[in-house]
Structure 1
Amino acid sequence: MQNYTQAGNTLTITATADTASGAPVQVGKLFGFAQGAASAGQPLDVITTGVFTASKVQADAFAVGDAVYYSAANGMTATADGNTEIGYATEAAAAGTASVSVRIR
């Protein structure tokens, strides 16, 4: 197939800010996790598929299959309003815990 470019599991973009390895990255509707660190303006590999453990709003609880949203200010959250849906929980995460396992899409 002549129009196939790549699988798209990892994309190289220009970092919009200094980014640590493993940090969530959102550019428009594109969401993923940084594969390595990069300074603003430098190339940054972003993994766009898979399951990741990420910081969440501690007051939020997730059951397996619940939608997970991303808030640039707060991390992963159960709050849809004003946030971007990025995937679903792959394990239960109780209120009071610091992280959630999320399958990004």
Structure 2
Amino acid sequence: MKTFIQSGDLITVPAPAAVKSGDGVQVGSLFGIANADAASGSDVVLSTEGVFELPKTSAQAWTVGAAIYWDAATGKATTAKDDGGSPATAHLPIGHAVVAAVNPSATGTVRLSI
């Protein structure tokens, strides 16, 4: 096909800040998991598909299938659609919980579906 470029499960973008391998990275409305460490402004490859263990808001219990969002301010996954502030503070939808997580817990398992 003439217009095909790539499958899209791995995307190379400029790192918005210094990132470590495995970090959640938000660039505008794009979200993925860093495949390697990268300095701010340098290229980083993001996985945009798959199942990942991510840091989560500890004081939340997750059920399988719960919608999960990314809170860029805290660098954590959350079930909260926003932080209660203005529309500018809405959290980015990133996927769904695929394993139940108790309250409190530091991590949750998320299938990216963005």
Q: Sort the TM-score into its range (normalised by shorter chain).
A: over 0.9
1:77 aligned partner: 78
- What is the alpha-carbon distance in structure 2 between the residues aligned to residue 58 and residue 94 of structure 1? 8
- What is the alpha-carbon distance in structure 1 between the residues aligned to residue 73 and residue 40 of structure 2? 19
Structure 1 segments unaligned to the other structure (5+ residues): none
1:35 partnered with 2:43: no
1:73 CA displacement = 2.5
1:20 aligned partner: 20
AA partner of residue 92 (structure 1): A
TM-score, length basis structure 2: 0.89
1:91 aligned partner: 99
- What is the alpha-carbon distance in structure 1 between the residues aligned to residue 71 and residue 41 of structure 2? 22
Q: Write the deviation string for residues 45-89 of structure 1: whole angstroms up to 9, x where unpaired.
A: 001000000110111111100001110123011111221111000
- What is the alpha-carbon distance in structure 2 between the residues aligned to residue 69 and residue 31 of structure 1? 10
- What is the alpha-carbon distance in structure 1 between the residues aligned to residue 94 and residue 69 of structure 2? 6
Instruction: Give % identity.
Output: 39
Moved more, 66-75 or 48-57: 66-75
Structure 2 segments unaligned to the other structure (5+ residues): 83-89
1:101 aligned partner: 109
Aligned residues: 105
Q: Which runs of 4+ in 1 moved over 4 A?
A: none
2:44 aligned partner: 44
